[in-house]
Every structure is written in structure tokens, then in C-alpha cells.
A and B are shown apart, each in its own frame.
Chain A
Amino acid sequence: MSEFLAAFFTVFNVMLFQNTLRTATPIVLAGLGGLFTDHAGIMNIGMDGMMLIGAFTAVMGTYYFQSAFMGIVLAIVVGVLLGLFFGLFVIKFKSDEFIIGVALNIFAGGITIFLLRTLTGVKGAFPLPKSLGLPTVSIPLLDKIPIINELFNNNSILVYICWLLVIICYLVVYKTPYGFRLRAAGEHPQALRSIGVSPDFIKYSASVICGILCCLAGAHLSLGYLTQFSENMSASRGFIAFACIIFGRSNPIKVFLAALLFGFFDALGLRLQNIIPANLTLIIPYAATIFVLVIAALQSKRKSKLSELKLNKV
């Protein structure tokens, strides 16, 4: 019994929740980006590729300028370009969103490996010195409180920015004229046109915001979480973020909570590696994603049935 308890506490301890916050951050960032395109009526399954390119440019920028700040700036610039590129195809050329998304993912996988090999001559992973990673923020008073300190203090700066962004995105989407127009662009573009706002412009802006946030998510992966770029390091996190958007119905707060849930499963897998073979624990976040999607679908099905019943009564 004591053995079991010992094993239990090697898994369920403060580290688990600390890991949860850290692994959730890239998913939160990508999810926040994706909910903008989702509100604008664009299905963006290219987020994984955007993250990968973001992770790559962040590392390359940091390496060439010897500063993580420049890495982030470069990732943001590339994010804007990616958003415009995606928008050009999906909005201007009206290409199939699915095809463009898939092509973007494959393109990202190819171009990052190709550039990594030709620019640095490295195959597999390109590590940076730890000192070049994102700076961590220590909040002065927090270090007096034991568990809270370990959880919320000394995280990389992007983690705090990410939490801030959750609130900002919520306010932007639900409390500003822009958010109103964003939602209208997806649901009723004609209405937007009638008040003289171009729905395409709104869609482009959503696409660019998505590009920036996905690249930031990638940057956190390669500079905050680890300090290296490795081939295909996004590991389908962009798709998990997409699942979070579906589960959270594109509401920033709910998407954040959904991402925390996945971060928890991810962290749980990491912690369980001491007990169960790593290849099995790696399955956990992916299986959890499917499970959660099924629950979300069941819920919405029940809701629509309920509303049908109500209509029948009336």
C-alpha cells in the first residue's frame, strides 16, 4: 500500500500542476488565435504548421541575434505573413480551407527541416544555450507562499502574457465593436456589408491574429518550454488546440479551461513515464482529445434535442 502511495505521490504532486500550466500554454495561445478565425467562419486546420514555423523562426531569430526578444519579434513578423498568406488563399481565392490547411502543415514540416539542415547543418534537433531561453518572471511577494509560489511564480514571460491574452481576447470578442463585427463576419457577412464594413477585411484581420498567436505558441514551445528546435516539435498540438476551440465553443475563457485540461493530460503522461512505458503515456493527450470531442458532440446533440422538445410543446 505504501508503495502504491509513493507511486501516487510521484505522479500527483505540485510538479504535475506546474507541468500542466507549462504544457497548456502553447495550446492556449494557439487556441486563442484559432478562435478568431473560427468566429470569422474560417476552419483553420493549418494551426499546427503555423506553430511549427513559429517555433523555428523563434529559435533562428534568437540564434542569429543572440536574443530571445528578437526571436519573438521575428516569430510575430512571420506570424503576420503566415496569416496574410493563409487569408490570401482562403478569403481571396476562396480555396478549400481543408486543402490549404493540410498543405500548410506539410509545407511547414518540409520547410523547417529543409532550412534547419541547410542553415545549421543539423539533423533532428538544434539546441540553444539555456541562457538564451525566454526570461522567467519572479513576482516579489509570491515566494513567501509555498505552493502558489511553485505554481505561479518564475514561469517564462510568455506564460503570463498568455494569461493576460485570455482576458484581452474575451473582452475583444464579446465587448468591442470589432468583436461584434468579427462574429458577424462568420455568421452573417451580408449584415456587415450593409453597414459598410468589408467582411473580407475582418476575416483577414482574424487570420493575421491567428498567425501571430500560433507563432507565439510555437515560440513558447521552442524558447519557453524547451530551448531548442526539433523536427516536427509541434506534435499535433495545433490540432489539440483546434479541439479546444470546438470544446470551448470559441469562447476564450472556455478555450483556456479546455487547454488546461489537455495540459493536465499531457503533464500526467509526462509524470507517469516513471511507472508506465513512455510510448503508452504519450497516447494520453491524444486519446483525451477524442474523448472530449465526443463528450462535446453528445452535449450539443442533447441540447438540440431539448430545444426541439421545447419547440414542440409551444
Chain B
Amino acid sequence: MREFLNELFTKRYKYDFSYILSLSISILLALILGAVIMLILGYNPIEGYGALIKGAFGSPRGIGDTLAKTVTLAMTGLAMAVAAKAGMFNVGGEGQLFLGAMAAAIVGAELTGVSPIIAIPLCLLAAMAAGGAYASIPAVLKVRLGVNEVITTIMMNSIAIYLCVYLSNGPLKTTERGIASGTQAIDPEFKFTRLITSSTLTQSIFIAAVIALVVWYFMSKTAQGYEQRLTGQNYEFSRYSGFKTNRIAIISMIISGAICGLVGMFEVFGIHGRFIESISKEFYFDGMLVAMIMRYNPIGIVVISIFFAALKMGSTAMEMKVGISSELILVVQSIIIFFMAAENGISRILKEKAAIRKAKREYLAAKAGNV
């Protein structure tokens, strides 16, 4: 823990100051742009953002929901980061999440009556195994055959989602009356306790915290993490240095998929108590955005997740109170990414221009000196 705090506050992250500055400016500009859109459409932006902040932090329930969303965002963001650091772009987290949720729901329902101390870890394992195994397919295809993993993972999203929807409406549909679709309910004993009444914040936050610490430690403190980083940065170099690059890439994808599966399990055990069709509303893509904004830095992902979770939860309140569609926040988020992506290029262009100007001045000065 001390090391973690040290890392967060001491010199190792100091050089990232300019990054944090440009991130803050990007976020500010994007929020202003959001306000301009509200103005154009005839809403009062102060009222809109006011409702947003109040919705996210205004009540214990709001805070609880925001924290719960933080868990989902941080976990999916970390999942993206683990794979991306090894040079694998896992866009298929949504499918891995669905399969993890489905596996956990099936095992959870099968083990009804078993002691939770045995059953819950088994469900955890089932969810992680399902997500990890599913993620290993595109990883192997990429490493062995060079099949673009972005395309395969996206295709596998649709496959997993349709498959789970089919299962929960067909062969695995609950026999309970009055439920349109969904699998058999898990034993109520297994359900995570809610930490704040009527909010969605559950004990899963503790599991998530452990996973986050493990991922951070793995990525920045272990030799494997170092090899992983190098593999992502320079595949050929790492291969010739004798790293088992293929294995590193595949393992990173499996870890990534396992974390996604776990997020699916949290939804089942924390909230719904069974697998339902709408178990995830593109949760993984939100997490991906967060990971990309923080350039796959695990600590940064956890910290900024709180901010984006507040935006997300607040936006629903904003939609209900002021009537501004909550999708505006998705727009604001993607604008932040565009700004961050542009920032790199703009500062590079400015530097180049400055260098050219300097060279010109020196040339002129030298010329003047000669004459």
C-alpha cells in the first residue's frame, strides 16, 4: 500500500504533469462543448450540469451508484489496458462479459443450497474461465496466423451476445412465472450484500479492489509485466531478446477476458440475481474509452473512472430532470479522446515549427555574420 501511494505521489509520475494538464484542458473543453450543444438545443447548461452533479453525488444512493459504476469502468478499463500493453487490442470485452455472466449464472443456479464460501469462488472461477477462454481464441488466431484481432473480437462480441440471448430465452430460460426472459435465479444466499441501501454498490467493490491491485502490481512491478510492456512496444525486439512474445500476448488477452468475465459475474451476483438479456449496456466500450484516455496506465484508469462514472450516473439524472438525452455524455467522452489524440499531434507540429523557426534564425544570423 505504501509503495502504491509513493508511486502515486512521488517523482515517478512527475513527468506526467504535462499529460495531466492537457487531459484537464481536454476535459474542460469537451464539457464546454457539451454546454454549447445544450445551449444550441435550448437547454440551460448550468441546470443540466447541476442536475448531473446532484444526480452523481447528491444522495447516499447517488454516491453508491457512482461508486458501483466506477467499479465496472475501472475493471473493464484495466481489462483493456492489460491486453493493450502487450499490443493486443481486445475490443471483445462485451462478449467476454456476457459469457462470464452466463457461466456464473449457470453455476450459481446449479450450486443452489451449497455453502456460499464454496459456491461463490467456484462462480468466480467459472466467470473468469469463460471470459478468458473466449478471449484466448482471437489471441491465438492473431499470434499464430496474424488475423487482425480487432475484427475478430468485434465479431465475437455479436456471436457471444446473440448466443447468450438465445440461451436465456430458449434452453436455459427460467421456469419461474412472470419473467419474460432470463436464466434460473441463483441461490439468494450467494448474492452480494448491498453496501448502501437501494444503491447498486455491493461487496464486489472489494473483489475489484484486489483485482486492480494485482493488475497494477503485475503490470508495473513484475518482470512479466516489464516483458509485456516491451512486447507491446516492440514485438520484434522482444522476440529477438528471447522473450516468449507469443505466450505473453496470449496470456495478456486471457487475463483481459477473465477480468471482463468477472464484471459479468458482478452484475449477476450484485444486481440481477440471474442472467438477463440487458446484463450489460455496452459497459466494456465505456471502459475502453477510459483506458484509451489514460493511455493504459492502471492507476490513472482507476482514478479517472470515478470522474467518468459520475458523468455516466449523473447523465441519467440529467435526462430525467432536465430532459437532455444522456447520450450527450457519450459524445462528450469521445470528444475528450479526439482532443487528447489531437493534443499529441498539435504539440508535435508546434515543436517542429519552433525548430524550423530557430534553424531559420540561426541560418540568417550566420549569413549576416559572414557578410
Contact = CB atoms under 8 A, between A and B. Distances in A.
Report, nearest first, the 5 A-B pairs whose CB atoms are least far apart.
A93-B345, A110-B330, A107-B334, A279-B166, A95-B341
Given A103-B289, A277-B170, A287 B334 contact: no
B28 interface: no
Contacts of B289: 103, 106
B169 interface: yes
A160 B235 CA distance: 45
Contacts of B152: 290, 293
B284 to A, nearest CB: 11
B341 A89 contact: yes
16 contacts: A89-B338, A89-B341, A93-B341, A100-B338, A102-B91, A103-B337, A103-B338, A107-B334, A110-B331, A110-B334, A113-B325, A118-B41, A118-B324, A236-B155, A280-B163, A293-B151
A92 B342 CA distance: 9
Contacts of A98: 89, 150
A209 interface: no
Interface in B108-166: 141, 145-148, 150-152, 154-159, 162-163, 165-166
Contacts of B154: 236, 239
Nearest to A98: B89
Chain B interface size band reads: 35 or more
A270 to B, nearest CB: 14
A99 B341 contact: yes
Contact of B335 (A107, A236, A300): A107
Given A114-B325, A277-B166, A290-B156, A106 B151 contact: no
Interface in A91-120: 92-96, 98-100, 102-104, 106-107, 109-111, 113-114, 117-118
Contact of A294 (B147, B157, B158, B334): B147
B151 to A, nearest CB: 5
A287 B159 contact: yes
B346 interface: yes
B216 interface: no
Given A106-B285, A293-B151, A283 B159 contact: yes
A282 interface: yes
Instruction: Give the one of A95, A104, A110 with max B CB within 10 A.
Output: A110
A301 interface: yes
Interface string A294-308: 100110110000000
A113 B348 contact: no
Contacts of A111: 327, 331
B107 interface: no
B338 A45 contact: no
A283 B158 contact: yes
Interface in A269-295: 277, 279-280, 282-283, 286-287, 289-290, 293-294
B265 interface: no
A239 B345 contact: no
B206 to A, nearest CB: 30
A242 interface: yes
Contacts of B158: 235-236, 282-283, 286
Contacts of B334: 103-104, 106-107, 110
Interface of B: 41, 89, 91, 141, 145-148, 150-152, 154-159, 162-163, 165-166, 169-170, 282, 285, 288-289, 292, 324-325, 327-331, 333-335, 337-338, 341-342, 344-346, 348-349
Contacts of A242: 148, 151
Contacts of B165: 279
Instruction: Give the one of A45, A106, A235, A300 with max B CB within 10 A.
Output: A106
Contact of B333 (A94, A106, A118): A106
Nearest to A243: B151
Contacts of B150: 45, 98, 239
Contact of B344 (A45, A95, A117): A95
Given A102-B91, A114-B327, A298-B145, A279 B341 contact: no
A35 to B, nearest CB: 15
Contacts of A279: 162-163, 165-166, 169-170
A89 B282 CA distance: 25
Interface in A192-214: none
Interface in A219-238: 235-236
Contact of A93 (B89, B147, B337, B342): B342
Contact of A99 (B325, B330, B337): B337
Interface string A167-205: 000000000000000000000000000000000000000
A96 B295 CA distance: 11
B318 to A, nearest CB: 12
A301 B145 CA distance: 7
Contacts of A243: 151, 155
Contacts of A110: 327-331, 333-334
